[in-house]
Structure formats: C-alpha cells, structure tokens
Amino acid sequence: MQINLSHPLITENVSLKKFNCYKVGGNARYFSAPKNNQELSNLLIYIKNIGIKYDIISAGTNTIVSDNDYDGIIILLNRLNSYIIKNGNNIKVGASVRLNDLISYTIESSLAGIESLVGVPGLVGGAAIMNAGAYGVEFKDVTMSLDVIDSNGVVSNISNNDVGFTYRHTKNLKDKIVVAAEIELHKSDKLELVKKRSDILKTRAEKQPLDKPSCGSVFKRPKDGYAGDLIERTGLKGFRYKSVMVSDKHSNFIIGCEKDIKSDDLYDLINYVIDEVNKKFSIILEPEVKFIGFK
C-alpha cells in the first residue's frame, strides 16, 4: 500500500544503521521521528487508517535490526519530548531524555534514588518500558506515573501500580508508547552522589566491554543464577561467530569484532547461545534485546 509521502512527518527509504548500537540494518521503506505528543498521536492515527505495519526504535541501544529492508514504517523516538521539569523532589521527564543525562541532572540537584542506573544506555522512555535496573534499583522504584500513547493515538496517564512492572518488562503497556515519566526522588548529599556515580562507572568499565559495539546485557537473568555465568560455564566465553563474539570480558555481552557487523551473525549467535545453555542446564535464556525485521 502506498503512503502519501507529502505527509509532513514521513520520509522514505531511510537507512537504519545509524539508529542502533551495532550499526546494522537495512532501509526503512518509511520513517518518522515525531517531536511531541501531538505529532506522534497524529502519526499513529494516520498509520491505523492506512493499515501499514510499524515498529519503534528508541535509542537503539537495546535493539537489533535486520539487514533486510523494513517494508513498513519505523518510528524513531529519540527526539520525542526532550524536557526535564523539576517540582521539589519530583521530576517530569520526556521520553527522549538520555537516562544518563537525567541522572546527571538529579545529582546536580542533590536528588537521590535513580543514580544506581548510571551507565545504563538508552532513553527514559526505553528505561520505563523495559523497567531498566542495576545494582538493586529498577526504574519502577522511582516511578510515580507514566504518560503513554496507544495505537489509536490516545494519550493517558498510568500510575505506578497500574503499569504492571516486572523484571525487565511492563505487563500492561502492550501496544503503548511511553512519552514521559514522573519520578519521585529524595534529597541527598551531592558529593556522596558524585562518588557513587564514579564508583559504579569504574566498576562497569572494569567488568564490561565498553570499548566495543554491544547492546549491553543480551539476556535477562534466569530464575536460577546469572546468564553470564551460565554462558561461561557452557564454554562460550570468547566464542566467535563470523563478525561477532561472546565477550571474553563479560559473557552476557555480545560484541562486534569486525568493522562491518552483520545482523544475521548477531541473531544466529544469540540463538546458538540459547541452544547450548539449554542443552547443558535445561534453562532457556530469554533475550532482553528487541529484534526488528527478523522472520
């Protein structure tokens, strides 16, 4: 089905390589990057009326895009609602604010509660939708409510209790896009927060392959144990497959080891790791990453 390309929010044949951490992906037949709720709402209504498939990319830090062209519309959220509004200990923050920029702002404001997530890549909207977590803190712990838009273009506000936060998931946000979050923090000593941030970033640098292309942790933590430990005990630490490999620094990271990474190599290696761990431990690892365009 053809789209009226005179629509001000839609462009055609856009490469997706620059919108994800691995720099992989073909072209999107159609592409849009709305900047506010009204633009996104109008776009979603338009998409529903013409009946074309669509998918979402936030910062692309937790996304693997197929090298095949995407025959639909990709909606990019990295420009959507770029604002931070402080009201006492509460902050209203737009979906496209980088999580680490938000943390820097809260530390400068001597507000604590979210600083443990420093170093987690991505945007606030993505952190909310996947309930990002680190060092015993999850995004749900500071969330008061989320502003969301559904596939009909309707904006609503959902309280923390109604979001359905679980481990790296939000049960009640299917077919909804987070456009803003309101979080509640508490006053703390700025110097202590600065030190905590520094300590966490140092630990991350020591334990994670931050100098290589990756999407962070590939697999969710299973009920028993840790994904990285299971992968290492399977003998796959440092295992290379074509243009990618299981990191020899942290086994739950899959990194690019060639300049030209292939998305099929990532997809195949992830599934190989799942199969091998399952053979050895009868545990099926569940990916944290989102796949776009794979069959």
Active-site residues: which are they?
Answer: 168, 217, 288
Q: Are 246 and 237 in contact (CB under 8 A)?
A: yes
d(CA 239, CA 49): 47
What DSSP string runs through 128-146?
HHTT-EETTEEGGGTEEEE
Pairing of strands 133-134, 84-87: unpaired
Q: Which residue reads 């923090």 in tokens? A: 185
Q: How far apart are CA 244 and CA 261, in angstroms?
A: 7
Handedness of CA 266, 268, 272, 278 (dihedral sign): positive
157: number of Cβ within 10 Å: 12
Burial class of residue 240 in the structure, from the number of CB atoms within 10 Å of its CB (0-12 exposed, 13-18 middle, 19+ buried): middle
Strand 90-94 with 111-112, pairing: unpaired
CA 110 and chain centroid, separation: 26
Structure tokens, 261 = 């990474």
**157 within 8 A of 181, measured Cβ to Cβ:** no
Please state, in angstroms and rounded to a whole number, the distance separating the CA atoms of residues 244 and 232.
Answer: 16
